[in-house]
Amino acid sequence: MSEEILAQLNAVIQRDPCNTRAIARRGETYRSLKQYEKALGDFNRAIALKPDYAWAIARRGETYRLLENYSEAIADFDGAIALQPDYAWAYAHRGMTYRLWGEPYYRQALGDFSRAIELQPDYAWAIAYRARIHDLLRCYEEALADFDRAMALDKHKNLFDHWQCERGLLLSYCGQYAEAIASCKEVLRENTEDSFALYNIAVFKARWHGLTEARPEIDRARSVLLSLVGTEEQGLAIYRLGGLAAIEGQTELALSYLEKSVLLDTEAREFALHDVAWLDLRANPSFRAITS
């Protein structure tokens, strides 16, 4: 489909080389295909022809974000918003850029997502990622409220790959372990070997009822996670093996797994700062060094 769109846009641009809309749309198509340099070329061309083209400026900002050039991305989102102050998409994607830029910018991210939602109250994507920011700021009740609001709007449940497990995590952060386990068990009805769900259930049950009662769930989760080592999923599998070791009090093993996992998957560091499996290790100097 993308190739057909490119062919159509190329034909339009050939007939009219100054058609800024077609040039920008071709840039967006290249961006969706992850051909970022070509996308930037088209966005630059469109903006040169029409300097007040807020849509193209914002999409160029998103391309910079995907290239992890956050300062250029922010500059473009600022420019698009200055031209179009009610541009909800630009606010939301500037918020995502701030969120990825790191902890010092979480409050700016929260403000941007909130502004996008104020402008567009049914903006499920922005609501879902504001939930993420509330989570990172450890405002878990607010995160859960936003998560549920986003899921109610997301009829096809496309916002999160494992939305029941994601909701389970937020419930666990609020200390609602029974509800958290029930949410994760919904996943196991479709896939009894889902490692995310099995891990969460093991951790939640250990925190709720203790290691003895959680032993069957821990052993089951560990078996599935070990089978994923050496696969493309091994980064988070190793992270979760570390979490199981942490709740069992095997500190050195847990930290060894965690150190390996952050080299394989950048999300592991962020997960560990919230995952209740690591509660007893958060003051540990080695844990703090790995997750800093």
Q: Which domains does the chain have, with CATH numbers?
A: 1-85 (1.25.40.10), 178-292 (1.25.40)
What is residue 156's predicted lDDT score, i.e. its pLDDT? 84
Question: Tens digits of per-residue pLDDT, 136-145?
Answer: 999 999 999 9
Contact 280, 246 (CB under 8 A): yes
What is residue 282's predicted lDDT score, i.e. its pLDDT? 94
The span from the CA of 233 to the CA of 236, in Å, is 6
Dihedral-angle region of residue 162 (phi above 0 means left; psi in -120 to 50 means alpha; beta otherwise): beta
Q: Environment class of residue 70 by beta-carbon count within 10 Å: exposed (0-12), middle (13-18) or buried (19+)?
A: middle
Question: Tens digits of per-residue pLDDT, 131-178?
Answer: 999 999 999 999 999 999 999 999 888 898 889 999 999 999 999 999
Tell me the pLDDT of the chain averaged across its residues: 96
Extract the tokens encoding 81: 């918003």
Under DSSP, the state recorded for 275 is -
Q: Identity (one letter) of the amino acid at 268?
A: A
What is residue 132's predicted lDDT score, i.e. its pLDDT? 93
Say whether 193 sits in a helix, a strand or coil: coil
Neighbours of 200 (CB within 10 A): 32
Q: Which residue ranges in the chain fall short of pLDDT 70?
A: none
What is residue 197's predicted lDDT score, i.e. its pLDDT? 97
